[in-house]
Amino acid sequence: MLREEFGLKRYEGNPIIRPADFPGADAVFNCGQTMYKGKTILLVAVVLKGEFCPRMHVAESEDGINFTIRPEPFITRSDKFGYYDHWPIDPRITYMEDEDVYYIMRPANSASGCAAILGRTKDFETYEDVEIIALPSNRVPCLFPAKIDGSYVRLDRPYSLVGPPHNNNQMGHIWISYSPDLIHWGRHRHLIAPWSNWNDVKIGPTPPVKTDAGWLVLIHGVGNSCTGMRYHVGAMLLDLDDPSKVVGKAESYLLCPDAKYEFMGRVPNVVFPCGFIVDPEQDRVRLYYGGADTCIALATGSLSEIIDICRKGL
């Protein structure tokens, strides 16, 4: 490693899932993540050699390190809505405890732009696409794990391609919106704009996790360079009662591409989070992230330290 680690520390056995772990795979990357019946569940995007369209598979683990990928896909390209969803990736999983349901929000890429699809499962055995919940261009839909003041709440990243490429103000900021039923969304509000050179092209959230200090959200932040975009992981904290208020954010990134498996792959210079898992009794955050759109790696951090970093704006 060339850089000192800050906030998140890589697992020394990384990457924990490689394309070679799945027959015929060219890539196994960016994963939704949650706990189910004591096991760590990752929903990984698998691209098979020679196939354009990824599928999502369930990978499961007793110890959070050694994963078995189920052979059958769990989510495949949806045509339920007459919508050509040609690149099903980046699932974001939210467990809604009151309903005992795992909701999965994901971008739905098409020729007319990227919309957002809501799906659900109770058991990671059967899956149902529920509805398209955002018009193009909208990516990175993430659901809060509880209603707030009687409403479902989501974060997402609508964005415009109008204007010069990589113009800070024209690309992706994070917004918040509310819904009575998960289908109809409104009261859209701008939440936060990029704030530093490591995220000045675009930022996108992960499903928020409740902590005593506020809703913790890891983000991806994209900066530009003369050889292309560079993806980082950052963090912010939202007010528990009114999550439209940002109460803290890490000034620096917590993770940037610095390992071979983050530089070398289908898309170099990428560390990409679609969620994270908190183990409160161990004061630990586990982040299973995509490396270079090719593999899955693990980084861990102290929950209280990451909250502190956000509060102090380090």
The pattern of x and - marking residues 222 through 261 that bind ligand BMA according to CB under 6 A reads: ---------x------------------------------
Q: How far is the CB of 305 from ligand BMA (least distance, A)?
A: 26
CA gap 169, 159 in Å, rounded? 10
CA gap 174, 302 in Å, rounded? 25
- Indicate if the alpha-carbon torsion angle 168, 169, 170, 174 is positive or negative: positive
- The answer to whether residue 293 forms part of the interface with ligand BMA (CB under 6 A) is yes
CA gap 158, 204 in Å, rounded? 10
CB-wise, 202 or 286, nearer to ligand BMA? 202
Among 270, 295, 296, 307, contact with ligand BMA (rule: CB under 6 A): 270
- The answer to whether residue 272 forms part of the interface with ligand BMA (CB under 6 A) is yes
CB-wise, 179 or 269, nearer to ligand BMA? 269
Strands 295-302 and 246-249: what pairing? unpaired
CA gap 292, 265 in Å, rounded? 5
The pattern of x and - marking residues 82 through 101 that bind ligand BMA according to CB under 6 A reads: -------xx-----------
CB-wise, 144 or 272, nearer to ligand BMA? 272
Strands 186-192 and 202-204: what pairing? unpaired
Q: Read off the tokens for 55.
A: 């599928």
Which segments of 55-151 are extended strands (E)? 55-61, 68-69, 92-96, 101-110, 113-121, 128-134, 138-143
**What is the residue type of 62?**
E
- The answer to whether residue 156 forms part of the interface with ligand BMA (CB under 6 A) is no
Q: How many C-beta atoms surround the C-beta of residue 190 within 10 A?
A: 11
Residues 6 or more apart from 270 whose CB is under 8 A from it? 230, 231, 257, 262, 290, 291, 292, 293
CB-wise, 275 or 290, nearer to ligand BMA? 290
Among 19, 21, 30, 221, contact with ligand BMA (rule: CB under 6 A): 30
Q: How far is the CB of 114 from ligand BMA (least distance, A)?
A: 9
Centroid of chain to Cα 309: 20
CB-wise, 231 or 253, nearer to ligand BMA? 231
**What is the residue type of 45?**
A
Please work out, in degrees rounded to the nearest 5, the angle formed at the alpha carbon of residue 29 by the alpha carbons of 22 and 265: 95
Residue span binding ligand BMA (CB under 6 A) among the ranges 65-73, 91-99, 238-246, 265-273: 265-273
Q: How far is the CB of 292 from ligand BMA (least distance, A)?
A: 8
CB-wise, 31 or 69, nearer to ligand BMA? 31
- Binding-site size for ligand BMA (CB under 6 A) equals 9
Q: Which residue has the CB atom at the shortest distance from ligand BMA?
A: 267
- The answer to whether residue 118 forms part of the interface with ligand BMA (CB under 6 A) is no
CB-wise, 126 or 225, nearer to ligand BMA? 225
Query: Could you list the residues that contact ligand BMA (CB under 6 A)?
Result: 30, 89-90, 231, 267, 270, 272, 290, 293
